[in-house]
Structure 1
Amino acid sequence: MIDELFAAAVANSGDLDDRWEPIKALHAHEDPAAVRAAAERRLVSEDPVVREAAVDVLAQVGGPDAPDRPERATLLLDRLAIETHPHVLAALATALMHLRDPRALESLIALAGHEHPLVRRGVVDGLSFEAEDDRAIDALIALSADPIAEIRDWATFTLGHLGYRTGPRVLDALAVRLHDEDRHTSAEALYALALRADPRAVARLLELLDDGWYDGLIDRALVALTIAFPDDGRLSAALAERWPNGVPDRVRRQVEDNLEQLEECARP
């Protein structure tokens, strides 16, 4: 059954949903040791599609609390040192996010400037578990200016909502993205700065509202900035126009939860 699941993952490599169904089944298999052994054998395959499937399985087999996580991280770090195929490198970077092993940091930073965008996108995932480390922050700031919009978007999200840093480097990097040509990246930066009560977010928010653009991030930024700047009549008016009957409870709760997380991270 294990071999059949691996074969299905490889055969369906071009279809994300069909590929991940057997991989998830291997993650939850009743015999994780046997799955790990099968994945280790495939990790040295000459076929990069097979190696990629092996990496994805090793990332999460046995669940998040499996006791062999350090050993699997060692296997993947050893593979990372010799791997050249961009799809496998991207899978390795994302796998190291799941394994949360601090030994991965230097290797991930070394890949942050890789020529293939898929690898850089994986590095953003990999660095997300170290988003409070100064070296990871430097790499994420660089990735937030990537030529590829998806990479900028996720790097901006990671800087703003996983690390919860409030120092000038992070704030300035987020402020640069306020006017990103990709609107979702711009909105991620806007909400991150709104949570930190950065006044640079106010003007950008009002611009976006004037353009008639509303989405979940814009809504939450409006609430956060109204909390931060209660005497700004422009924000109060915008809030009343957006929700004449009051802010929905789910929106307010989400903003309050994010503000609480930010406060917790700021405590010594």
Structure 2
Amino acid sequence: MTVAEDFVAAVAAGRAADTPQEYARVRDLAAAGPQALSLAVAHVADPDPVVRSTACRLLGAVAELHDDLRADAATALLDRARVEIEPAVLWSLARALGDTRDARAVPVLVDLAAHGDTDVRYMVATALPWVLGDDPDPAGLAALLALCRDDEVSVRDWATYGLGQVSAADGAAVRAMLWERVADEDEDVRAEAVRGLAHRRDPRAVPLVADLLREPEFNVFNTIAAGLLGDPSLAPLLVAYAPDEDSVADHLRECDPDRRTRRDDFAFDLFDAVAAGRGGVALYGRRCEIGLTLAVGERTWSVEELLDDTGGDCGRAARLVLDEPAT
């Protein structure tokens, strides 16, 4: 089938409300890159709202798969946003704007955050955190905070998840909203708020994360929350919660003061050893993430992986960094 024929098939799936089939066809179409972009742009103003919806989703998929086409896809979506009024198309448009990760989408999503259609607000709640960034526009942050109070549970859930875990924004207003949602009537919203506080390493969240680790159903985000807090009291709960999960080892390290100190000492010694042989060396941790990263120019290494791979031999780790490409 040609790209045009595949697009027609995707539209047919959308008309039949066959969401999985439409999504799969759109993803396959997006692999065509510039050809898919041109096709989507040509149909984004089609009189048929189903065609417009499919075109919007295709623009989002192109942006997601092709960094070099992301800005062009966002521009086409923003142009359409100025005139679109159909809720089903706005749903697709909001989702696609989130896929672009383009800050220019913030004003559009802010306007749509107050839309009367619940489905549109739901999709805005999922998309807005991805375009806000870690230092969000005040209006964009205010819109996301308002969505955290939405009357619809699904909107509150995704907005709280986005605020708590997708965005690394912090400050009094962010923490106040997360604490407000800790008392939400919905269990999932409450859990997202607790994990959001853990991402900001708020020590008051320790007993709340402990409660999440006592739940029988495994959720990897609970283990991440425990690692971010790094409180020793969470270690035995973490082991009991996920005894067979390999990823737990990294989070247990954060909850063990002795192991964490050994990692930190190794990281500083490694930094000194590498900096002695090469310039442009940096050692850093990311906000709202566990672990440390060593960077030499544009190449990066996980300090924890170097520590484990070399058994803590700093000299060997330094030679690996200086002599081998990053993986």
Where on the TM-score scale, by shorter chain, does this alignment land: which range?
0.7 to 0.9
Cα offset for 1:131? 3.6
Between the aligned partners of 2:235 and 2:40, the Cα distance in structure 1 is 57
User: 1:130 matched to which residue of 2?
Assistant: 132
1:28 touches 1:62 (CA, 8 Å); kept in 2? no
Letter of the 1:130 partner, please give it: L
**Whole-angstrom distance in 1 between the partners of 2:50 and 2:104:** 26
Q: 1: CA distance between counterparts of 2:66 and 2:51?
A: 25
Deviation sequence 1:206-239 (CA, Å, 0-9, x none): 55567x45432344444544x23x4x6xx56645
Contact 2:213 2:241 in 1 (8 A): no
Distance verdict in 2 for CA 1:249–1:40, change over 3 Å: closer
Could you say which structure has the larger radius of gyration?
2
Query: How far apart are 1:115 and its partner, in Å?
Result: 0.9
2:74 equivalent in structure 1: 73
The answer to whether the Cα contact below 8 Å between 2:160 and 2:178 also exists between their aligned partners in 1 is yes
Tell which has more relative contact order, 1 or 2 (C-alpha 8 A, sep 6+): 1
Match of 2:24 among 21, 39, 43: 21
CA distance in 2, matches of 1:144, 1:188: 11
SS of the residue 2:151 aligns to? coil
Match of 1:163 among 139, 148, 167: 167
Work out whether 1:250 is the aligned partner of 2:247.
yes
1:108 to 2:109 alignment: yes
Cα distance in 2, alignment partners of residues 43 and 162 from structure 1? 29
- Could you say which residue in structure 2 is the equivalent of 1:153? 157
The 10-residue stretch of structure 1 (191-200 or 3-12) with the greater mean CA deviation from structure 2: 191-200
Change (3 A) 1:11 1:239: closer
3-state secondary structure, aligned to 1:261: coil
TM-score (norm 1): 0.81
Partner residue of 1:262 out of 277, 284, 287: 287
- Once the two structures are superposed, the pairs formed by residues 70-219 of structure 1 within 5 Å of their partners are 70-127=71-128, 128-132=130-134, 133=136, 134-205=138-209, 212=215, 214-216=217-219, 217-219=221-223
Question: Which one-letter code corresponds to 1:262 in the other structure?
Answer: R
The structure-2 alpha-carbon separation of the partners of 1:131 and 1:68, relative to structure 1 and needing over 3 Å to count, comes to: closer
Residue of structure 2 equivalent to 1:51: 52
Instruction: In structure 1, list runs of 5 or more residues that go unmatched.
Output: none
Aligned to 1:147, the other structure's residue is in SS state: coil
User: What is the CA distance between 1:83 and its match in structure 2?
Assistant: 0.5
Partner Cα distance (2:95, 2:248) in 1: 30
Task: State whether structure 2 residue 9 is matched by structure 1 residue 12.
Answer: no
Aligned residue pairs total 254
1:108–1:123: 8 Å Cα contact kept in structure 2?
yes
Q: Which residue is equivalent to 2:62?
A: 61
TM-score, structure 2 normalization: 0.67
Identity, % of aligned positions: 33
- Consecutive unaligned residues of structure 2, counting only runs of 5 or more, are 255-283, 291-327
Counterpart CA distance in 1 for 2:253 and 2:82 is 43
